[in-house]
Copies of this chain bind each other. A is one copy, B any other.
Amino acid sequence: MTGVRARVRAELTEEIKAVARRHLAEHGAAALSLRAVARDVGMVSSAIYRYFASRDELLTALIIEAFDAVGEAAERADATRRRHDLAGRWLAVARAVRGWALANPHQYALVYGSPVPGYAAPADTVDPATRVSLVMIQILVDGVAAGVIEDDRIETTRAVRKDLEQLRSTVATDVPDGVLVRGLLAWTELFGSISYELFGHLHGIITDYDAFFDLQMNRTGRLLLGA
């Protein structure tokens, strides 16, 4: 029967990724070693090369996985709220992203932290990366369609106007510039807050992280949705 070799191959590829994911979760991306992964899979180190052409290719697979995981978490959280409950959706998504980050700090650092030295992300990682942002953009699109989110005037350069136009034409039909900018601001605020907490900059300042995060995201949500 054709395909049995292919199936075993697919299974082993998955197993290697699973072990690599565990190593990443435990020791971080910089410490991810092909040899160590091979040892844990029960292979000799050179055998990994039948499945991944290099360490970078394995890293790329993990990055795609991480983007997918956080994207899925955001989508699921978004789906738990009614479509017109924009504030609720925003908070749910924000909490979901933070929850995923706290549960998978090294994965979070891999995709949203400082770049891995010597690694350049290939084009394959672009699409999975956008998945999570599409969730938030959809909140904006829905809000604008329902007439609930108001635009406001912004002053900026022609280049930025063009960037926003470009962004709108690909994913955010009908969302005006002012709203788009607020969206991007909320977005960086979300990742800024999570990074600040996760990378230890609130240590000694805030003790009740959960409540503080909600407080911040509620404010950000009001900024995002209110005029």
Q: Which residues of B contact A121 (CB under 8 A)?
A: 200
Q: Which residues of B contact A83 (CB under 8 A)?
A: none
B184, A216: Cβ atoms under 8 Å? Answer: yes
For chain A, the bracket of interface size reads: 35 or more
Determine whether A11 belongs to the interface, using a CB cutoff of 8 Å to chain B: no
Determine whether A9 belongs to the interface, using a CB cutoff of 8 Å to chain B: no
Determine whether A201 belongs to the interface, using a CB cutoff of 8 Å to chain B: yes
Q: Which residues of B contact A28 (CB under 8 A)?
A: 114, 117
Q: Which residues of B contact A188 (CB under 8 A)?
A: 189, 192-193, 196, 216
Give the contact stretch, choosing among A34-42, A47-55, A151-159.
A151-159
Please pick, from B113, B187, B223, the residue contacting A223 in the complex, using a CB distance under 8 A: B223
Q: Which residues of B contact A44 (CB under 8 A)?
A: none
Known: A163-B205, A163-B208. A27 touches B215 (CB 8 A): no
In angstroms, Cα B12 to Cα A194, docked, is 40
